[in-house]
Amino acid sequence: MARFQFCCVFVLVALAVLAVNPSSSYRFTIVEPKSGSDSDLDSDSESLLFHQDYSPPAPPPPPPHGPSVSCSEDLGGVGFLDTTCKIVADLNLTHDVYIAGKGNFIILPGVRFHCPIPGCSIAINVSGNFSLGAESTIVAGTLELTAGNASFANGSAVNTTGLAGSPPPQTSGTPQGIDGAGGGHGGRGACCLTDTKKLPEDVWGGDAYSWSTLQKPWSYGSKGGSTSREIDYGGGGGGKVKMDILQLLDVNGSLLANGGYGGAKGGGGSGGSIYIKAYKM
């Protein structure tokens, strides 16, 4: 896989316009700040109205993380977080976890480090190096990684697909009704017309949201719609991945925030958010 080396800061944005059963439900783009005249602002305002985006007031900052877990007692690892902690065996978490230390955090090849619960957060903050070994996986609703250097070996994956927590306050990209439409996020979700008594223009996918944070995305995707009032068939929204790497980030694996598959009876969820900041990538 090609590697990119730039002396700059990267902002990778993953916000989706959801098809009903998307094969890939988020996109990357590099966003530049816009400037212009009052007419440009008016045009932007009209565009937001047309897309029916709602940007709620900024929520209060999240509470600080609790105390860090320990390497051996809590994670079953070898070593110490202030020197080097190695995760040598599969670990299935059932709640949020905060991992912090002055040393290195290494997940050995073939190890599964999972918290497969919607909205489950894994936060890693180490001063040294982070390494995800070959064929190893991290599965969670959210991954926050802060490290001096970070590497993701061949076949490794960070996967937040379909594991979104709650959408931002006062908004939701989940479509109304039982038409099985797609979830919205960076754009409106795709519609799905199943009722022959309705016109296509009367059926909408999920609402768009989070346009105001495109340069620093940090929102979950939304669930897709269902075709049943009793059973929720919609695919889950994509999760969140954020990395703040002081020096080198080397990615030979996958970083995923796709929306979940809705199947024949539900709409696909919208993709989540990926934000990466590194000196060299």
Within 8 A by CB and 6+ apart from 36, the residues are: none
Average pLDDT over residues 264-270: 81
Contact 52, 205 (CB under 8 A): no
Distance of CA 100 to the CA centre of its chain: 21
The one-letter code for the residue type at 39 is S
The one-letter code for the residue type at 243 is M
Does 72 or 214 have the greater pLDDT score? 72
DSSP-derived letter for residue 211 is G
Which of 79-83, 110-114, 220-224 has the weakest average pLDDT? 220-224
- Give the chain's end-to-end CA distance (angstroms, integer): 13
pLDDT at residue 181 above 60?
yes
DSSP 160-207: -TT---PPSTT---PPPSSS-PPPPSSSPPPP----TTS-GGG---PP
pLDDT per position as a tens digit, 225-263 = 777 888 888 888 899 999 999 999 999 999 999 988 888
Give the number of other Cβ atoms within 10 Å of residue 163's Cβ: 27
Pairing between strand 142-147 and 254-256? unpaired
Among 37-46, 50-59, 129-138, 201-210, top mean pLDDT goes to: 129-138
List strands edge to edge, sheet with 137-139: 91-92, 112-114, 137-139, 157-159, 254-256
pLDDT at residue 34 above 50?
no
pLDDT of res. 37: 47
What is the C-alpha separation between 3 and 253, in angstroms, rounded?
11
Contact 277, 243 (CB under 8 A): yes
pLDDT at residue 57 above 60?
no
Average pLDDT over residues 150-165: 97
Does 90 or 12 have the greater pLDDT score? 90
What is the C-alpha separation between 238 and 163, in angstroms, rounded?
6
Average pLDDT over residues 185-206: 68
Average pLDDT over residues 55-64: 56
pLDDT at residue 268 above 60?
yes
Tell me the whole-structure pTM to 2 decimals: 0.74
pLDDT per position as a tens digit, 108-152 = 999 999 999 999 999 999 999 999 999 999 999 999 999 999 999
pLDDT at residue 166 above 60?
yes
What is the C-alpha separation between 4 and 42, in angstroms, rounded?
38
pLDDT at residue 165 above 60?
yes
Average pLDDT over residues 202-206: 68
Average pLDDT over residues 268-281: 91
Helices marked H in the chain: 38-51
Confidence of residue 61 (pLDDT cuts 50, 70, 90): low
Q: φ and ψ at 74, to 5 degrees?
A: -95, -35
Domain boundaries along the sequence of the chain:
68-280
pLDDT at residue 267 above 50?
yes
Contact 240, 142 (CB under 8 A): yes
